[in-house]
Amino acid sequence: MSEDKFRSYTYGEGKTGIGQLVEFSCRSEDVDKVKEFLENIRTIEIPITKEVNVGHGGFGRYTRFDIEQHKYAGGPFGYIEALEIKNPPEGRCGYVIHEYNNCGGSEFCEFSTLGNAISAWEKNWSAGFGKSKRITEEEGFIRRVACYGLSPWFYAFGEQIIIGDFVFSEYMAEDPIFRFNRKFVVRDYDGFPTIKTCMGMLLCGEDKKHRIVYWDDGTVWDEHKNYFGEMPRPLDDKELWIQDAIDKFKMLLTGTTSEFTIDFIDGSKFIGKLKPKGKKSHSAEGVYKVIFTLKSGKKICRKGNFKPTPEVPTIEDALDRVAKREDDEIARIESVIKITRAKKGEKKWAGVYPVPKRE
C-alpha cells in the first residue's frame, strides 16, 4: 500500500483473541474492521515498549498514551496541568486541562485546540487555584468532567480498560449486588433520587468490608457516609420506563427533538414541549414558591398566591415588579415551584421513586 493512503488517519484500541489490549492507527472508516480482525490474533509482540511519565513536580504519573505536558502548577493539596494527548482514540479530545486534589480527586476540561487549552490555563490557573468556575467561559471550551475517585481515561496504563471517560480499575472487587454495568436508584447528597450505572466497587479498611461504589458519572457512594440511611438499590424491571423518560428528556436538551411524551403505568401521560422564545402565555393561578437573585447579589425567597392579570400575566412579570421595587433587576431565577394543594396527609405528585420510610 502507498503512504498516500494513510495521510488521513485516526487512533484506536482493540483486543486480541486472548484479551491483549492493542493500540493502532488506521483510516477512520477502517477502525471497526481492524478491531474485528484483531479478534483472530492470539497475541501481538511489540519489539520496543515505552511508558510516558508525565511529571508532576516531585513525582510522576504513568500513561500508555503519548502525552506532552505544556503547563503545570502544583501545591500541597494537588496540581493542575495543560496536556496535549497526541494519540487519542477516535472520538476523544486530545487537549485538556486536568486538575487533581487530595480531597475531590480528578476532573478535566476539554478544549477545541491546544492554544485554547493553554490560554485558559494561563488565565485561570497560573495565579493559583480557586478560579475554576470561570473555565467554562473560556474560548474553545467543550465540556467539564468530574472523575472523583476514578482516573481520567488519558491516564490509563498497561492493559487497563477505558469505559467512557474513566479508567476501569483492576482493583475493583466482585460483589453480588454492585455488579459492573448494573443500574441503581441512588440518592445524591441533596437527597434527590437519580439512576446511575455501577462502574465497580472497592473494599477498604483493615477488614476489607468497607464498600465504596463508583458510578458512571464519576460520583461515589461510601457506605460509611450514607447520609440518608438508604443503600442504593438495583433498578427494578418495572421502573425501566423511568430511564426511558430520562433518555427522552436528554434528547430534548441536546436539540434532537422539541417535544416528548412519557406514558405512566396508570395510563396518565406527561407531555413535554419546548416553548419558543417570545410567545408569552399566562401562568396558572395558584400558590408559588420562588427563589431568585438580583443583580446586586441579593437573594430573595418568597411564597404566596399568584393570579394572572392582563398587566401581570406570568410569574416572571410578577418577579420583575418585585425587583423594580428594590430598584434592581433580576440576574437569575433559580426556582419556581407551583404548590398544588392536596388532601391532608397525601401529595398530588409523589415523584417516580418511593420515598423510604424512616424508623
User: What is the mean pLDDT of the segment spanning 210-225?
Assistant: 80
The Cα 51–Cα 155 span in angstroms is: 11
Count, residues in the chain:
359
The Cα 177–Cα 24 span in angstroms is: 36
Instruction: Map residue 101 onto helix, strand or coil.
Output: strand
- pLDDT, one tens digit per residue, over 39-87 is 888 777 653 334 455 665 555 678 888 888 898 888 777 888 899 999 8
Q: What pLDDT is attached to residue 93? A: 93
Phi-psi region at 345: left, alpha or beta (left = phi > 0; alpha = psi -120 to 50): left
Question: What percentage of residues in the chain have a pLDDT greater than 70?
Answer: 77
- pLDDT, one tens digit per residue, over 114-134 is 999 999 998 887 654 444 567
Write down the pTM of the prediction. Answer: 0.50
Rounded-to-5 percentages of helix, strand, coil across the chain: 20, 40, 45
Mean of the per-residue pLDDT values of the chain:
77
Centroid of chain to Cα 323: 34
- Give kind and range of the element (H or E) at residue 72: strand 67-75
- Give kind and range of the element (H or E) at residue 316: helix 315-325
Query: How is 174-229 classified by DSSP, letter by letter?
Result: P-SSS-TT-EEEEE-TTS-EEEEEEEEEEEETTTT-EEEEEETTS-EEEGGG-TTS
- Give kind and range of the element (H or E) at residue 31: helix 31-38
Whether 66 contacts 86, CB under 8 Å? yes
